[in-house]
């Protein structure tokens, strides 16, 4: 899957946050829905203009974003 086809960054949409195909669904929202326990099918039922590949692209984007040399754990 080509992430560039599914994840767009446009300063005019959602303040330049990475979004799904410019549809004003920030990647962070999709990840939060998944983290809250929603399934891909739940998300697709609630947001009919999203596609399964969009959700998978959001996960792929998050995976790439974690490829860093070092993480600093925030203070509790």
Place of tokens 């974003």: 65
- In the predicted model, residues of the chain with pLDDT beneath 70 are 69-76
CATH architecture classification, 3-64: Orthogonal Bundle (1.10)
pTM for the structure as a whole: 0.84
Residue 20 phi/psi, 5-degree rounding, is: -80, 115
CA angle, residues 22, 26, 32, in degrees to nearest 5: 150
pLDDT tens, 56-68?
A: 999 999 999 888 7
Q: Where are the domains of the chain?
A: 3-64
């Amino acid at each position: 899957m080509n992430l560039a086809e599914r994840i767009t960054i446009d300063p005019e949409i959602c303040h330049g946050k990475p979004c799904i195909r410019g549809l004003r669904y920030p990647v962070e929202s999709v990840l939060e829905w998944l983290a809250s326990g929603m399934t891909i099918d739940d998300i697709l039922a609630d947001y009919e203009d999203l596609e399964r590949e969009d959700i998978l692209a959001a996960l792929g984007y998050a995976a790439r974003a974690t490829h860093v040399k070092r993480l600093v754990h925030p203070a509790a």
